[in-house]
Amino acid sequence: MSEKTTAEVRKIWKDFSEKKTSEEEAKNLLLEFMFRRKFELGLASMSEDDFSDFLVYMAEHFVHILKKYNPKISDFSTYIYGVLQASAFWRKRKQFLANEKKSFCETLVVEESSFVLENEEIYFENEMTTEELYKVAKKNLEYSACSRHSERKTKISESFTKELCLVLALKSCYSITDPLVEKVSATTGCSKEKLRKMIMSAKESIEKKEMRFHNLFKRRNFAYYHRKKFSMQKQREAQKESAYTEYELQKFNSHDQRWRKSIEELSRQIPVPTNITVGRLLSMSPRHVAFLVSKAKEIFNGDE
């Protein structure tokens, strides 16, 4: 604090100690001093709302702070500066913990309310007339007969192909490229703008999965770097025909195991939106999305 500021706050204490000002007057003088000297007191980082709340909080404690001051230990300007800094830090930490607790509780409530097992969901479908059922059954029979005699070649209807392309595009939202988006748009007739919006919505639904995937990716890179490092050291030691210490061997094996484990985890942790999310974006039931995904696997594996 500047000499002028120091002299000002010392006078507040002097007048209070000599009974020239009452407790209420001294408190108000300190509040006014805080308000005018916000920057010098190291409180500039506070927003207007936070600073207003802090003033109200300190107003309740200034009388106690004045009574606790001991002139034999430190100067009053140093004392009041330390008190304000400690109080501001304590309030900031308390607010941070409260926000973390609130966020954690809200996350639990949201996850608990939105968690449902896909296999146990109930879907309501419009009833079909007998004539419509006959047409669908006949179409499926014709499709099955065709698939049995086509030597793994399938004749999938145009609507089925479009649905399949859209589902796979949204399921691949994490890694789909612009050229693929254009191809899907051309194949399905869905505008590129609408398709990109759906892909962005699908990506937003996997933010937590994506964060977990990136952490696994970093672990994989870290383990690979150290594994490579120890491997090269091992090769150099072998060329020198010197013994590889047991500690170095343990370090190499440890990083090798971490690297292999991280690769295994990465293969299982590719972020993909749920069938519920994809179904909501495409106005389909999650069960139909699951059916399309299973059909895609059969086609890619050559089962049909």
Q: Which of 26, 33, 38, 28 is nearest to 69 (CA)?
A: 26
Global pTM reads: 0.35
Over the stretch 61-103, which tens digit does the pLDDT of each residue have?
888 888 888 888 888 888 888 888 888 888 778 777 776 666 6
Instruction: List the one residue out of 24, 14, 27, 12 whose CA is nearest residue 62.
Output: 27
Question: Is residue 33 within 8 Å of residue 100, measured between CB atoms?
Answer: no
Q: Which residues contact 294 (CB under 8 A, 6 or more apart)?
A: none
C-alpha 222: how far from chain center: 21
Which tokens hold the place of 129?
């007339």
Alpha carbon distance 76, 9 (integer Å): 7
pLDDT value, residue 119: 45
Is 162 in contact with 188 (CB distance < 8 Å)? yes
For residue 247, give the H/E element and its range: helix 246-268
pLDDT in tens, 98-142: 766 666 555 544 444 444 444 444 444 445 554 555 565 566 555
Average pLDDT over every residue of 129-158: 54
Separation in Å, CA 92 to CA 35, 38, 89, 99: 18, 16, 5, 11
Q: What average pLDDT does range 230-254 have in this prediction?
A: 61
Please state the separation of Cα 154 from the chain's center in Å. Answer: 42
Name the burial class of residue 281, with classes exposed (0-12), middle (13-18) and buried (19+) by CB atoms within 10 angstroms of its CB: buried
Residue corresponding to tokens 């890694």: 175
Give per-residue pLDDT as tens, 10-39: 888 888 888 888 888 888 888 888 888 777
Q: Are 282 and 289 in contact, with CB atoms under 8 Å apart?
A: yes
Average pLDDT, the chain: 72
How far is it between the farthest Cα atoms of the chain?
107
pLDDT of 149 above 70: no
Residue 281 has pLDDT above 50, yes or no: yes
Output the six-digit token pair for 207: 């933010």
